[in-house]
Structure 1
Amino acid sequence: MNPANIVGLRLKQAREKLGLDQADVAAALSVDYQINLDQSDISEIERQKRGVKDFELDALAKVLLVDPVWLLRGSDEDSGNA
């Protein structure tokens, strides 16, 4: 089975680097960007079971303080900082 996204592993890496849990990310998306994802949606993205829309990718990058291109193409060694 092919993954539904290519950002999930780096999303988790960036989230954990900031000390956030999945619910924190979901809450920030809702409050700051009016994007309604819940903790289970973030979990599915991280497990590459759910796709990510372009506006979600942009908001996730802002919440996680990383460059959206890093979420898409960064190597695991990259810091991911914007």
Structure 2
Amino acid sequence: MKLIIDNNVRNIIGPQLKTARLKNKFTQQQLSAKLETMAVYIDRASISKLEQQKRIVTDYELLALCEILKVSPDWMLGTVKE
């Protein structure tokens, strides 16, 4: 896989994150609250930045998001369809 560095795109999960969040009928604030119960602290504004691909996502944040949204990391990364 070729790595493309673009200063405007900080993650590749943004569109998938938004799709999964809306499918689960969560607001960004509700998702933030659910993450907090897992000791992962991402506020509503940061979730918005993730969805817009303006913020980097860490590995533990990715795994927590996947668990809450009931999707696989591979799907979130766009490597498989679910």
- TM-score tier after normalising by the smaller chain length: 0.7 to 0.9
Match for residue 33 of structure 2 among 27, 40, 45: 27
Q: Is residue 2:75 matched to residue 1:66?
A: no
User: Which amino acid in the other structure matches residue 17 of structure 2?
Assistant: L
- The alignment partner of 1:5 has SS state of coil
CA distance in 2, matches of 1:9, 1:3: 12
More helix by share: 1
- Paired residues in the alignment total 76
- TM-score of the two chains, using structure 2 as the length reference: 0.86
* TM-superposed deviation, 1:69: 1.0
- TM-score of the two chains, using structure 1 as the length reference: 0.86
CA distance in 2, matches of 1:17, 1:74: 19
Residue identity (%): 39
* CA 19–74 in structure 1, closer or farther in 2 if over 3 Å, else same: farther
Q: Which has the larger radius of gyration?
A: 2
Gaps of 5+ in 2: 1-6
Gaps of 5+ in 1: none
CA distance in 2, matches of 1:52, 1:6: 9
